């Protein structure tokens, strides 16, 4: 377990994927709710990247988490606008919403970085553009 002042930083080289609405199916009178395939694949890959970087037991107790989601820049824009986005002058105020990125990421990291995301008492999230899509996560016990 980390000491109260320890802060952990992780960089995951994976394109952020938002949590999408769950899918529902019924068979034989039973209803099943599940993640869409794209979200399921994202969570599985992110989880394995986290297990590879953090080979300790999940953190316990209250946590503060900060997440930054680096989205790819669209190819259909001008060079000037591309430069503005990569220099963080132009922000990604488009869908998907930051909270949907947060939800999918926290769910994927349950049981790896922390026991359960209910432990998170403070959270910040930010979207940025990048040539290299990735997710950075900072975790600090509080």
- For the stretch 73-90, pLDDT in tens is 888 889 999 888 888 888
Q: In this predicted model, which residue has the larger pLDDT, 75 or 2?
A: 75
Q: Which residue has the higher pLDDT, 9 or 73?
A: 9
Is the pTM higher than 0.75? The answer reads: yes
Contact (Cβ atoms closer than 8 angstroms) between residue 104 and residue 43: yes
Tell me what pLDDT residue 2 has: 45
**pLDDT tens figures, 12-41:** 999 999 987 777 788 888 887 767 889 999
């Amino acid at each position: 377990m980390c000491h109260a002042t320890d802060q952990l930083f992780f960089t995951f080289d994976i394109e952020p994927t938002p949590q999408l609405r769950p899918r529902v199916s019924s068979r034989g009178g039973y209803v099943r709710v599940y993640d869409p395939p794209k979200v399921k694949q994202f969570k599985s890959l992110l989880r394995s990247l986290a297990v590879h970087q953090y080979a300790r037991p999940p953190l316990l107790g209250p946590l503060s988490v900060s997440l930054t989601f680096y989205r790819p820049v669209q190819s259909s824009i001008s060079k000037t606008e591309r430069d503005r986005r990569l220099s963080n002058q132009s922000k990604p105020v488009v869908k998907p919403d930051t909270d949907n990125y947060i939800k999918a990421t926290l769910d994927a990291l349950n049981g790896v970085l922390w026991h359960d995301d209910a432990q998170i008492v403070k959270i910040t999230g930010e979207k940025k553009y990048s040539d290299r899509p990735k997710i950075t996560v900072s975790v600090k016990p509080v």
